[in-house]
Amino acid sequence: MKKLLLVALSLMMIITPLMSLAYDGELITIVADSDADPFTWDPANDAIAKFIEDEFGITFQQSETNFYNNDFAMTQLAAQDEKLPDVFAADILYYPQLITQFIPEEMITEIPEELIEKYPLTKARLENDEVAQITKKMYGGYFFLPKPDSADPTIYVTERKGIFIRKDWLEKLGLDLPTSWEELYEVAHAFTHNDPDGNGINDTYGLTGDGMGQLRFFFSASGVSNRHWNKNEDGTWSFGALDERNIPVLEWMRKMYEDGSIDPDFGASTWRQGLQKFSSNQFGLCVRNADADWINQVFVNHYGAANPDVNPFDVLDVIPGLGINKGDDVRMEKYVSCMVATMFGTNITEEQMDRFLAYYEYLLSDEGRYLRMGLKDVDYKIDENGEVTIIRDEAGAAPALATKYPSIGVTHWTSWGFEMHAYPHVEFFDKYNDEIKEVNARACALRNEHPVTVNPGTLLIDDTVVTDAVGTFTVPSEYWAIVTGTEPVADMFAAMKERILAGGFEQAAEVVQAFADEHGW
């Protein structure tokens, strides 16, 4: 009888807004661990928890262990002992064992196709997620629900990186926003040597920020993903950081280093150190994440807080990607859609999974996507034009959702919510909401135009020959040694490549090639 009711509900979901439904069956408890801090469940005092119980018949119970925020070894041990929660979040591309070990050893539960067919939005999400499709081809089914950064894949087609820049310094020096490494060098040089702040003192510099690890994304200007295995024109596979097409970028960086226009501590810099230098008006360029949320953090929370008398949108801008030489297309590597996934433990029942999928489907819907913002007409409102605004208190403060709704973490299964940060029709930020979204839209439009292809399947190769080779190749420090070296860049790169290949990468390439041939990549 319950299954008949669930089928009826699922059919109604296609044609009827779920807010008009109320689940009148027996409550089911689902033990869960999300990728947020542990949640608590108290429907008597938490209206979101009550809404979920009333509409979906689910009582979520936080698992005793918060697996996501602990060492992966804890998840492995729990899986071996069949003690994983009914539902849990997992970094499947950081820990490919979640796919390559957990699936063949039946440590997680496959999602039945007949359940997926009931939920069209969930089905479309799986069919359009590259990692889900690769996994399905490898293992014959679906074993997780994707949780991308953004539920809307059209926003961040490529990686969300940027170089924040002092546009007021550009204007003073008569320079344009750089779109190539060649122009970036010219701007960094001018920021260092041409007194962009006009104080008559030689006290400004070019590039600082989050070190070589973050700057590696901008090596995509070469047309190669620096961080992944790449398929060559002849069908062979090679690791991107060893591709000679990275040499021109390294040569521009060498020039920056030699003329003092890059932070001498850049190779070991952290993002906090970089932002402190940038916000103190020492440096005119700072590399960091650059989605809408990070634009808010850099512009408002860091630079704006350090310079309260300045409107940060009058003086800052973002470089979202680069070509190599003037006139080249701006390139950035394609965003890998599913770094985090929602998986099901072996103890989950079909009825529990069905109930959870109904809830997941709701979170993907036009109505449910806003549940992470609280309750409609309580925490936010939507006008006749579809504009979403936060309902603030008399002091102008937004609701403290984590305090008001201790269960709020269970609304985040479908994405990290970056789409809410970016959508122009959604008020999300307390200050400069429209300005943040405008800067983000411009950055996305430029970096999304010519994405560099990435095949995430290579991240699922759980062979020690490959993982050990990649794990021991510390690209940021190797590259920084070339940037700060004295021998010709091309010679140092060649010596590095020869040494790295001899250290295991030749064998690793053979394993990747065999894996790619087997799966038709």
Q: What is the pLDDT of residues 242-272, one digit of tens each?
A: 999 999 999 999 999 999 999 999 999 999 9
105 lies in the same domain as 211: no
98 lies in the same domain as 221: no
Helix (H, G, I), strand (E, B) or coil at 231: strand
302 lies in the same domain as 400: no
- Rounded Cα distance between 456 and 337, Å, is 9
13 lies in the same domain as 108: yes
Cβ–Cβ < 8 Å for 121, 129: no
207: left (phi over 0), alpha (psi -120 to 50) or beta: beta
65 lies in the same domain as 112: yes
What are the two backbone dihedrals, phi and then psi, of residue 163, each rounded to the nearest 5 degrees? -115, 110
CATH number at residue 135: 3.40.190.10
Q: For residues 221-234, give the mean pLDDT.
A: 93
Q: For residues 293-317, give the mean pLDDT.
A: 98
Q: Residue 17: pLDDT above 50?
A: no
Instruction: List the structure tokens of 110.
Output: 């496959």
302 lies in the same domain as 395: no
Domain-located, residue 243: yes
Q: How confident is the model at residue 67 (pLDDT cuts 50, 70, 90)?
A: confident
183 lies in the same domain as 296: yes
Cβ–Cβ < 8 Å for 300, 308: no
Q: Where is the domain boundary, 333, 348, 368?
A: 333
Residue written as token pair 């109604």: 12
Domain-located, residue 227: yes
Cβ–Cβ < 8 Å for 151, 310: no
52 lies in the same domain as 96: yes
Q: Where is the domain boundary, 407, 422, 437?
A: 422
115 lies in the same domain as 213: no
Whole-model pTM? 0.91
Q: Residue 14: pLDDT above 60?
A: no
Cβ–Cβ < 8 Å for 32, 410: yes
Nearest CA among 162, 144, 164 for reference residue 96: 144
Instruction: Please tell me the total count of domains within the chain.
Output: 2
- In eight-state DSSP terms, residue 396 is -
- Of 2-6, 315-319, 412-416, the range with the highest mean pLDDT is 315-319
Q: How confident is the model at residue 163 (pLDDT cuts 50, 70, 90)?
A: very high
7 lies in the same domain as 138: yes
Q: Where is the domain boundary, 363, 391, 422?
A: 422
Q: For residues 208-222, give the mean pLDDT.
A: 94
Domain-located, residue 377: yes
More confident residue, 35 or 238: 238
Q: What pLDDT, on the 0 to 100 scale, is given for residue 3?
A: 35
181 lies in the same domain as 141: no
Q: What are the pLDDT digits (tens) for 92-142?
A: 888 888 998 999 999 999 999 999 999 999 999 999 999 999 999 999 999
Range of the domain at 191: 161-333
Q: What pLDDT, on the 0 to 100 scale, is given for residue 95?
A: 87
Helix (H, G, I), strand (E, B) or coil at 387: coil
Q: What pLDDT, on the 0 to 100 scale, is given for residue 18?
A: 40
Measured N-to-C along each axis, helices 120-127 and 350-364 cross at an angle, to the nearest 10 degrees, of 80
Domain-located, residue 194: yes
- In eight-state DSSP terms, residue 186 is H
Domain-located, residue 474: no
Q: What pLDDT, on the 0 to 100 scale, is given for residue 8?
A: 37
Q: What are the pLDDT digits (tens) for 182-209?
A: 999 999 999 999 999 999 999 999 999 9
Degrees (nearest 5) of the Cα angle 127, 129, 130? Answer: 110
Domain-located, residue 329: yes
- Rounded Cα distance between 428 and 254, Å, is 41
